[in-house]
Amino acid sequence: MISIVEADGKKELALLEQLSARNSETDRLVTASVQEIIENVRNRGDAAVMEYTRRFDRTEARLMPIGREELAEIADACDKKIYSALKNAASNIEEFHARQVQQSWFTTQENGIINGQRIRGLCKVGIYVPGGTAAYPSSVLMNAIPARIAGVQEIIMVTPPSKDGGFNAAVMAAAYIAGVDKVYLCGGAQAVAALAYGTQSIEKVDKIVGPGNIYVATAKRLLFGLVDIDMIAGPSEILIIADDTAEPSYLAADMMSQAEHDPLASSILVTTSMEIAEQTIKEIEHQIKNLSRAEIILRSLKDYGAVIVCRNMDQAVNLANRLAPEHLEVMCDQPMAYLGRLNNAGSIFLGKYSPEPLGDYYAGPNHVLPTSGTARFFSPLSVDSFLKKTSFISYSQQGLKLAQDDIITLAEAEGLDAHANSIQVRFQP
């Protein structure tokens, strides 16, 4: 299942390099297929979306929008226990993201100079929510709530129809709770293209967010520039740092919670204890017998799982920073002691009662996180992701006169005499 690697400065780095290679090359056939879909939707609009939905989902798309009134009716009929859990999760997510709100600002000087920045939400945002064999109401909350808090004027959601042409009630209830304005039942690269270009039925948006399969991710990548996107997301991943006080049954459960996402998902345990490493593998073998997605978990752990035994915690922390995982759990005696040293991670889970699924569903911080090592320079989805900033400048005659010599000097140094003239003409007799 998983072999144990003892870190020696070389073996573990070679292993991590091998695990990272799963995202090193985009499938050329997928890219070519998605390019064709995008171009077809661009040229034919609704007709292309309907055609691809019949071909790939084997059902009919619904391009008549499901609006707030219909969403309310669906939410009212939703399972009460699920609806209550969604409401509680939404409350936590809203409370966390409300603290990220920024304000416009400006500064003034006595000579009449005013500089500032105007901050406002995007006009229209598209949210992609996967369908197929699983439903993801949590993704609706995580994507739509920050957009609403940011002040986005219209939130439009697309999600694949079920085989009977219907929808998942929990996903729709989440859309109502989160403040989604319209839902269209279509998915895949064709839905992403429809949001980017607009069709006869679906409005063109400014940004597209949300997870999806390789076709959805490729469409977002190809359309970036025409619209903004959240990030290019790869397969899910978790790295767990554990010392000799960690509970192997918890470590095993948390590794498998990520492995069940996808055969390409990566679950890595980095521990200072050989005994903990061996016991965790035994726990995986025991617990997996009771899990419905055991086959996927086994493939994921075999191909992209790892257990690394380090000499000390310093080595473990350095490995974590090098890998920059999407999810990072710290299962140590004093987890908070390491927080200031862990610089590269999408989200950090501290202590044995903070498992990764807590972040997926409920705690409040966003679960849309950078993957594939991009946590070195990317951040989680946030209110900031749905804002645009415009700077503004207002100089008085006196203020410009004080600055004119410096501006002219810099313009002439760059050989742009029309720039210099734009200043000079204002002070000619």
Taking the C-alpha atoms of 206, 207, 212 and 218 in order, what is their torsion angle to the nearest 10 degrees?
80
23 pLDDT above the threshold of 60: no
List the beta bridge partners of residue 190: none
> Tens digit of pLDDT for each residue in 33-87?
999 999 999 999 999 999 999 999 999 999 999 999 999 999 999 999 999 999 9
Q: Could you say which of 97, 261, 327, 367 is catalytic?
A: 327
Q: Which residues contact 154 (CB under 8 A, 6 or more apart)?
A: 123, 124, 125, 181, 182, 203
Active site residue 329: no
3-state DSSP percent of the chain in helix, strand and coil, to 5: 50, 15, 35
Give the model's pLDDT for residue 233.
82
> Tens digit of pLDDT for each residue in 345-387?
999 999 999 999 999 999 999 999 999 999 999 999 999 999 9
Per the model's pLDDT, the better-predicted residue between 96 and 27 turns out to be 96
> Tens digit of pLDDT for each residue in 311-341?
999 999 999 999 999 999 999 999 999 999 9
> Tens digit of pLDDT for each residue in 191-241?
999 999 999 999 999 999 999 988 999 999 999 999 999 998 888 999 999
Which domains, ranges and CATH numbers included, belong to the chain?
Answer: 4-25+234-377 (3.40.50.1980), 45-229 (3.40.50.1980), 395-427 (no CATH)
Give the model's pLDDT for residue 26.
55
pTM for the full predicted model: 0.93
Nearest residue to 130 (alpha-carbon basis) of 211, 223, 217:
211
Counting Cα atoms < 13 Å in the Cβ hemisphere of 4 gives 15
Rounded CA separation 63/184 (Å): 5
Active site residue 70: no
Confidence band for 132, pLDDT divided at 50, 70 and 90: low
